[in-house]
């Protein structure tokens, strides 16, 4: 199976929403008008790249990346990765690995000094990220806003 990782386009929005439904199945579907407005805002955001893994014309996975300018580390930026998801029917076929390789390449091309992400408290997920060269070096904290 050939996997092509590329930047998402507006035409991918429906497929992205389907993937995000797999990532967060308890979330109510986003109304189309809201999704369109959010996508438009994301598309204009400097340093933001939503990657998609295209497998023969099917969006098989995605990773949302944003370059954050930084005043430390000699002014080198940080690449944050969020909302990584691979469709269930494409898991364990190299899609996630290709997405993470593309994210790291994106960070390198933006002269980032690190790529950072938070992972679910799931041993399989941690093993996957470690296999992609990531190390669990810090403890993450979150505070959800109701």
Query: Considering the chain, what percentage of its residues have pLDDT values greater than 70?
Result: 100
Give residue 32's pLDDT band: very low, low, confident or very high (50, 70, 90).
very high
Task: Output the pLDDT for position 140.
Answer: 85
pLDDT of residue 142: 86
Q: Which CATH topology does 3-131 take? A: Aminopeptidase (3.40.630)
Q: Are 56 and 1 in contact (CB under 8 A)?
A: yes
For position 127, what pLDDT does the model report?
A: 94
CA dist 21 to 4, 60, 86, 143, Å? 22, 13, 11, 22
Q: Starting from the edge strand earliest in sequence, which strands make up the sheet with 3-7, in order?
A: 3-7, 48-55, 58-68, 78-86, 114-117
Write down the mean pLDDT value for the chain: 95
Whole-angstrom distance, CA of residue 13 vs CA of residue 119: 24
Parse the chain into domains and list their residue ranges: 3-131
Confidence of residue 20 (pLDDT cuts 50, 70, 90): very high
Are the beta carbons of 80 and 117 closer than 8 angstroms?
yes
pTM of the model: 0.94
pLDDT tens across 80-117, in order? 999 999 999 999 999 999 999 999 999 999 999 999 99
pLDDT in tens, 117-132: 999 888 999 999 999 9
* H-state helical runs in the chain: 13-23, 32-44, 95-109, 123-131
């Amino acid at each position: 199976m050939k996997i092509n990782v590329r930047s998402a386009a507006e035409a991918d929005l429906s497929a992205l929403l389907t993937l995000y439904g797999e990532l967060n199945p308890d979330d109510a579907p986003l109304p189309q008008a809201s999704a369109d407005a959010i996508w438009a805002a994301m598309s204009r955001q400097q340093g933001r790249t939503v990657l998609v893994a295209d497998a023969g014309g099917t969006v098989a996975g995605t990773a949302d990346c944003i370059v954050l300018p930084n005043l430390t580390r000699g002014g080198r930026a940080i690449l944050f990765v969020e909302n990584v998801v691979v469709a269930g029917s494409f898991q364990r076929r190299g899609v996630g690995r290709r997405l993470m390789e593309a994210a790291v390449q994106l960070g390198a091309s933006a002269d980032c000094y690190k790529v950072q992400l938070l992972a679910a408290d799931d041993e399989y997920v941690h093993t996957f990220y470690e296999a992609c060269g990531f190390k669990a070096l810090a403890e993450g904290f979150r505070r959800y806003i109701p």
